[in-house]
Amino acid sequence: MLSVKRLISTLRLIASYAVANTQAVMEYRAAFIVQVLTMTANDSLWLFFWWTYFHQFPLTNGWQITDIVILWAVSACGFGISAAVFGNARQLSSLVMNGGLDAYLSMPRYSLLHVCIAATDPTAWGDILFAVGAYLFLVHPNAIHIVFFMVLVIMTSFIFTAFMVILCSLAFFLGNTEGLAQQMFGALISFSTYPMDIFHGAVRLLLFTVMPAGFISFIPLQLLRHFTWPLFGAMVGATVLMVLIAVGMFELGLRRYESGNLLGMQA
């Protein structure tokens, strides 16, 4: 089933959608620029806070300002790519609720992928811009570092997307979970922008399992500081696992959807 031709066709589809969607949001040039700039400004504001924090309280374990910058850069860039390429993933729960999923089901492509790539979030570019800018100018990385950064960021974006899909797939079973999904996703983003050292014990365990914030920013940071194969393997493993869980949950929910027996749904 999985042939190279299929893969290329899929990649081309993703690219076409990305182009079309970005063009659509760039129609409103002024608004687009404002959105990008405000997101960049927002991220910079947080970084500013961290700078003042470190100014007063340098943290132990060798944490420096560059570490925080990398933490933020990976997280923001991963999120940005996720929201730019798979920007429609967050709509999945409302599509399930109002039956809009049908339109995707009646078309030849894999419905989950299709749903995710159908729209983009323009503010995501602000995050990407900030991430790349901060990373390049504040960290002064070398070429290998940059390549590695890109690889990690792509994996992070998959984790973000997978997490969103899992949350939205709850709509298949629990009905209107949009509020919950939003909060949980917000929590994930929050957790991923703080140094892991401040968390201990049970919470830390949580952050490497149910809420994979650890894999989004902390592990990549460790890998960028000091690469080890086992750690990289763990990163890859976590990414693949998240994606598999997301697909699994979606498929499970889809079975239910196709039976038409969704909670409160009228045919």
Residues that bind other proteins (CB under 8 A): 9, 12-13, 16-17, 20-21, 23-25, 27-28, 30-31, 34-35, 38-39, 41-42, 45-46, 48-49, 52-53, 55-57, 59-60, 99-100, 102-109, 114, 118-119, 123, 179-180, 183, 186-187, 190-191, 194, 197-200, 203, 258-265, 267
Task: Pick between residue 155 and residue 167 the one whose CB is nearest to other proteins.
Answer: 167
Nearer to other proteins, 60 or 142 (CB): 60
**Residue 155 or 188 having the CB closest to other proteins:** 188
115/223 with CB nearer other proteins: 115
What are the DSSP calls for 104-143, one per residue?
HHTSSS-HHHHHHHT---TTHHHHHHHHHHHHHHHH---H
Q: Which residue do the tokens 């990305």 mark? A: 18
Closest approach, Cβ 103 to other proteins, in A, equals 5
Cβ at position 155, least distance to other proteins in Å? 23
Indicate the residue among 240 and 263 with the shorter CB distance to other proteins: 263
Q: How far is the CB of 264 from other proteins (least distance, A)?
A: 7
CB of 267 to other proteins, least distance (A): 5
Burial class (CB within 10 angstroms; exposed 0-12, middle 13-18, buried 19+) of 54 = middle
Instruction: Show the tokens assigned to 215.
Output: 């894999």
- Which of these, 82, 59, 63, lies nearest to 71 by C-alpha position? 63
CA 156 to chain centre: 6
Minimum CB separation of residue 237 from other proteins in Å reads 26
Tokens of 47: 């970084």
**What is the spatial distance between Cα 220 and Cα 265, in angstroms, rounded to a whole number?**
42
Least Cβ distance, residue 148 to other proteins (angstroms): 28
Residue number with CB closer to other proteins (17 or 215): 17
> Cα angle vertex 162, ends 156, 166, to 5°?
145
Which residue, among 77, 71, 83, 195, has the nearest Cα to 133 in the 3D structure?
77
Nearest residue (CB) to other proteins, 48 versus 227: 48
* Distance from C-alpha of 152 to C-alpha of 89, rounded to nearest angstrom: 21
The CB-of-119 to other proteins minimum distance in angstroms stands at 7
CA distance 49 to 58: 13
